[in-house]
Structure 1
Amino acid sequence: MQSRLAKSLYLGLAALSFGAVASVSTTASAKSKAYVVSNTTMTSDPTTRNVALTGSNAIYTKPGTAAGARVVASKYTAGNLANSKNSAYYFRAYRIVKTNRGSIYYKVVSMSGQYRGYIYGGKTANEYAGGVQAANTMTDAKLPATTTATFANPGTKNVTWAAPKYAQYKSTKMVKSTVPYAKDTLKITKAATKTREGWLYYYVEDAQNPNVNGWIYADALKIADANTIDAKDGITLNFVDKATGSAISSKVVAMPKGTTNSVTNYQAIQLANANIPAGYTYSLMGSSSTVAKGGSIVVYLIKNPTKLMNMTAKVYNADAPADAQTVLTSAWNSTANQDALKKDDFFSPTEGAIVKGTDIDAHLAKANLKEFVVKTVPTADNLGSVAYQFKLETPVDTVASSKTTTSIFYSATKGTVKASVNNGAFVPDAK
């Protein structure tokens, strides 16, 4: 009996000792975690709080060294966002947190609203370091020679914004449609490019309707020609395709300096070569005689050779899974898709021709390449396929050249396609 009692006392003491050790261990672990000593809202001008990630630190639900902090964007993802060419992955800092260790954390949110959390920002408040750095989302550009314009294609697609989309957090549209203002005269007062994409934007002011004032994509404007000359005050050049005899275009040009009543054949040739339409090369003049002021002359041109545009498809969004680019490249280079591009004469422009981004958009839609889904491997349950949905981002203007490659950007979304779900349509993965 005494032996049993002693054994019970020994086991009880052992259990008690173990519990005490465990308790001490847990407390020590908790004490090793940092804790917040101050948490304040940033009150400086919001536009001065735009930041870019550096890729050196992850984003967490709490300051990274605090107990219970969970990863919002890993260091690997942060690296991709830092190198992104998409303004959606700039961030806005709006709170400063200081821990008992003297570390500064910023609470940030991506311009798209997709990522939100805390990231290490160095040791000094309001001096970005560590995982973030100050960012200029827009870069000043030169104003055009002519600052008077109208809306090129009035509608709902390209409207004015308080700031270009994603250049500032929660930027808003000034108007939903430019149709009611189709005949308004606009004055361009500022010019800037989106730093990451390089897209040009103008700030326009509408004297008739000031509510329209805002930033707009440059190609959405029709800028007045400051060099418009009355036909009676210059020479009209009538450009004609030498091979077909078809009219190409006409342009009135000013009289050369030092001339008043007429231009020589040599001067007319110089004027013609200085004003040749894109995609053509000078051949000869329709006449060798002098041209009187207010007169016209035919200029024969040769159409430059055509060639299929060098284009490559690229994934635009930095948060896309690593294999998205491989899937997109394979789909883009497929025989079916390349044949569709080759059959459309639009994609075989003359060398040196200007190719409008809006036209690229329209013709890719015609080829079913504006938005498409690519199935990859079977799903884990073998009831469908893992798939990607690719959506075309707004193309920019380019110049047709055999020496350059035009990048066509797509946003990529991973998901599945199952006959039994959503009528067999693409379903994005839950985030």
Structure 2
Amino acid sequence: MQSSLKKSLYLGLAALSFASVASVTANASNANAAKKHAAAKKVTYKTTNKNLDQSVTFKATGKNAVYNKAVGKRSVVASKADMASKANSKDTKDLFMAYQEGVTSKGVHYYKVVSFDKKVRGFVYNKGVAKTNTTVAADKPLNTTGYLQNTNRFFNKPYGSQFKTSLKNDYKAMNLASDQFTVSDAVKVNNDQTYYYVTDKNNQLVNGWVNSVYFSNNVTPAAQKAMDAKSAVNASFVSSSNLGSTLFTTSVNPKVQSNGKYSNADVLQLLNNQLKGHGYQPADYNQVHESVNGAPVTFDKDGYTAQGTNITVEVTPDNSNNKTTVPYTVQGLATNGYQQTATPVANNLLKAVNLDNSLYNSLFTGTPNSAFNYANFKSQLLDSGKALNVLSNIDGKTTYKFNAKATETNAANSALFDKDGKAISNATFNDVKAENNGAGLNLVYDVVTANGTTTTTVNSNDTNIFGGNSGQATVDAINDAKSLVTKAAGYMKDNQISTLRDAEGSDKANTDSDALNAAVKTLSDNSVNTSKISNYNNLTGALNAEKAQKAAIDKVNDVANSLTQFTGDTANGKTAYVATGNKDQLQDALNYALSQNNMQKSDLQKAVNDSGLVLSKSDDALKALGVALS
């Protein structure tokens, strides 16, 4: 019994001991968990600086993401991959500005940042972005005076250099297009764009940073337009039957003469060009009225008109009883071997076409200076299904299908279409009547054979296929051209102009460049195989080089001539700047000369290089041009 009692006692003590140990272990685990939970709750964030320098720019390193909060339950605003992409970007929008910084209770430092495009805003570990220099010094233009193509893009800082970069809107209401600006500083920003700090020469208070693409040493189209508006002759057209009523107004800018004014002859010509298509008779000198300081001034043929003058032009309507009838020719296009012809088709060879008299009169007749409406003419007579779309020969075998592409060219109808094939909107009945040496409107048709096959492949830009003459040469002409080219090419050692001179020598080919160019064109137009002509490519290369050189010389001389026409105030009064030798004054003269010839400075510099001219050893105008370009 005692033994049984001892065993029971031992077991009871063991169980008690086990329970006590278990209780202690459980209490310890709960205490540790509580401590960990308490510790997790204590991770906090404190802002240490709410006013960081916002002129400092940061760039992503790609090492960390951006979160909506620094600690606690948070979400990703920009992933690590997004930030890595921004780290490799040169785009301004991918830069950052940090406007606050802080630290967690664990000592982790964060920036509060916003991207330049404001699409990313949040907290990033301070190693996730790094300060960056967004600008480096850049070269100013060689000529620091020029014009702006866009005068609404002045910034307070180079765009992309800082977060708070803004447009200067103070100048938007100002007309600055014709003003000259001076560059005083230049920087390149993160995206490789260069910005210039410019100041208006007319108003020092107008200044700011502009993208260099908007700056040009040459007169920009916007500047030219603004200057034209200031210098234009402004005309009001009034009817002779009602002088108090203005019909329409216009502005013209003739070529400026050496005295700084416009010749009256040039003014009148441009005014009458503006009258075309309005149905009024061309004006004469005595119909143009101008005044200076309130006193009437006679507008005569040999006189001049000052820039910016306002004039009144008295015009008379066309006489409605004096109608002009536009003649026309039907041209049949055909190809026979290498010969392409455009031959007039006589009316007596065509079957009659029934056309209402009133329709004919409305389309073919009009007052001399009224507009000839080709688009309406075509839609009424020439489009598919219309009376003149398909014509038939009286032989019953041949028909003619209207060819709009060939008709609507400068070659066929120079009064109606320019060299680019664009319609001339103010072409008059008189203009169309007079074109093609008085033959009038050329209506071009494809010749279609009896079996329905069109026998022509037309080069509608060929200027020689009209008026009954073939654009292709005869066999004899081709043989003559081939013989001349072969003889000249035999003397060509290379494609240089110097050896072309040898080939043109009287004891050799006995020819000149014009004849050789004509011969080469004949071979090209007739698709003659030139592969067996020795040194043919050298010959054509030299001819092309000579053409380019002559064209370059002409360009340079045109600008030099315009340079001599520019006058301005000097110590000796109103004088041509070309005579001063003053580089700044010559620069103004050069800008004027470039604008008169619709040329950029880079184009002129290339022309000088291609021309082979040595400006410093040429006449006074070219010497002055060299100074202006230096």
Which of structures 1 and 2 has the larger relative contact order (alpha carbons within 8 angstroms, sep 6+)?
Answer: 1
Please say which structure displays the higher CA radius of gyration.
Answer: 2
Q: Which has the higher helix share?
A: 2
Q: Which has the higher strand share?
A: 1
Q: TM-score range by the shorter chain?
A: 0.3 to 0.5
Give the alignment's TM-score, normalised by structure 2. 0.32
